[in-house]
Structure 1
Amino acid sequence: MEDFSWAKLYPEVYKVCTLFQMTEIANPIEFHYKKLDQFLQDGPQCGLVALAMCVGNPTKDSIQNLFETAKKYNFSNNGEMFSVDNMATLAKEVLPIGTEIKVYNGYLDNDFIKKSLLGGSIMLVPYDTEKDNSPGLCKGHKAHWAAICGGILTENDFYVLARHGKARNVAIWKLKVLANSNKQLLEFSPDRKFQDIVYKLPIGGISGPFGLKEKSILIQYKC
């Protein structure tokens, strides 16, 4: 049994490491973690909830305020956020003055992203969810948002720590798995098209230049 001594300062991370005996991250070379408060979403609010976690102290009222701002800018009808560019604009409205917010275009599994996460940056990343909420390959049909709040470098791989609106626990995923999920966000879910709900989609759809495919947001708080 591993003791995961590196994670003992962070009870929510230590809980996941020990519960699932994640021996692959038992002795990391380097790691960084920023605590984000958990909040469960109500309806199609995953992007707003992830952003509210980055702002800090997410509440029902703060998420409702984000929703009202998103509607004001014509970014969302029901709480959905299918544009990374619109999400970045919303982030600039609500994150503290001096916070550096950039849209990142490209595949996530690279040295720049690893260095950024180990250096204290956090990210907002769209991806597809599997049944256990881990990143999957569903062509965008299960598109979801997560706040990436840390990185773990091991001898053999790189992992990210994440918070999102469908789970109470911190998630720990391989960066490559998240990157592959983010890369294949190709189309709006056919099932959602036939629901009695009108969703706001960007010009060109979720795989277009203003959508979600191979796009994410880097956030660096002012020191």
Structure 2
Amino acid sequence: MPSNVCAVFCTDGRGKNPTQAGRDAVTRASFGCRPMTCTSRYSVRSQAMYCSEKSLSLAYRVLQRTKGSEEHRYFMWNVETQAKLQEGPTCGLVALSLAADQAMNRRQVTSEFIKFSDDLDCVELLRQARQRGYTKEGEMFSAHQLAKLATDYYKCQADVTSFSPENPKEIVSGLLDQDMYVIPYDRDKNNEPCLMGGHQAHWAVLTGFVTPIVIESPSLFQKTLYPNLFTCISDDSKIIKENLNSFLSVDPERIFFYARHGMSRHLALWPYSILKASNENLYEVDPSRAAQNDKFILPPENELKSCLCSKLLRLSKKQ
């Protein structure tokens, strides 16, 4: 079974979460397999099934808290990834390694998570970043330097772009192409995006999305055992992308992106509008960190506007 998860769903119309048994039944019907027996290109174990259930359940929970979500059907696509836990301020290197593993199809996932010091790529990225004068402790305050590490170490295409009105659809299209996106944002105490002016700058990887749809191509979907829940008849991203414009309704206020980052083992799902606002408010380095300029490699005058603010790093295989 492929590691990509795709589903179309809406709430049960009563504002209640489905039962675990219901979710399990939906997942079994969606993938046409028995629980804990499916495989992916990453593992011969049940990792893909476990993550698929988690990502679907996460979407349900988030949408239940979203006002007006019961009025829409939603399409979900997520690439299952292994969590990597940072050690020290190495969030950027962890995010780069995690994204490159998927974009380059380099990694076989055999456990729920891996620590920084146990990941040979992360350790080597830190060594090279130090050698180039990008970092001292693992901190990365430049999207362009992170892109340079990606192209030199992973031999992949790494493009730094800025946010624009077309970004949501471009990101969705890129994710369907198996590209990965690394994004800086301000991290709140619960790891979600916030507005701290860059004082809590952090890095995350976008692995998938949840977005409203208008079903105009019913042949692409099939019903499951759960009311108003649909899955893709094909899990081929090329087929889905070919029909993207016919059923995708990318409303920036209602699209969500799945994310992973080095501070948690758990997959996250954040509203695009909040993530974008957080990314665009990265102005300066935390003054308490700036006072330790002998310990870290900091940007000139401690400002982040030119190196992190509104930046997005896209990783893909070289053509």
**Deviations along 1:29-79, whole A, 9 cap, x unmatched?**
433222221111110100011111123356523212111100111111110
Question: Measured at CA, do residues 36 and 207 of structure 1 come closer, stay the same or move farther in structure 2, by a change above 3 Å?
Answer: same
Specify which of 124, 127, 145 is matched with residue 182 of structure 2: 124
What residue in structure 2 maps to residue 193 of structure 1? 290
Letter in 2 for 1:93: D
Give the count of matched residue pairs: 220
C-alpha displacement of 1:10: 4.6
Q: How does 1:1-223 map to 2 (within 5 A)?
A: 1-2=17-18, 3=22, 5=26, 10-15=49-54, 17-18=56-57, 21-24=61-64, 29-56=74-101, 57=107, 59-60=116-117, 61-95=120-154, 97=155, 99-107=156-164, 110-155=168-213, 157-195=254-292, 198-203=295-300, 205-209=302-306, 211-221=307-317
Contact 2:84 2:94 in 1 (8 A): yes
C-alpha displacement of 1:110: 3.6
Q: Structure 2, unaligned stretches of length 5 or more?
A: 1-16, 32-47, 102-106, 108-113, 214-250
Letter in 1 for 2:100: V
Q: Secondary structure at the match of 2:83?
A: coil
Question: Measured at CA, do residues 212 and 168 of structure 1 come closer, stay the same or move farther in structure 2, by a change above 3 Å?
Answer: same
Counterparts of 1:70 and 1:115, CA distance in 2: 31
Question: Measured at CA, do residues 222 and 194 of structure 1 come closer, stay the same or move farther in structure 2, by a change above 3 Å?
Answer: closer
Decide which moves more: 8-17 or 62-71: 8-17
C-alpha displacement of 1:175: 1.2
Question: Measured at CA, do residues 196 and 13 of structure 1 come closer, stay the same or move farther in structure 2, by a change above 3 Å?
Answer: farther
Contact 2:141 2:299 in 1 (8 A): yes
Contact 1:103 1:218 in 2 (8 A): yes
Q: Structure 1, unaligned stretches of length 5 or more?
A: none
TM-score, normalised relative to structure 2: 0.61
Q: What CA RMSD, in Å, does the superposition of the two structures yield over aligned residues?
A: 2.8
**Deviations along 1:149-184, whole A, 9 cap, x unmatched?**
112212561111111000011111111111110000
Identity %: 27
Bigger CA radius of gyration: 2
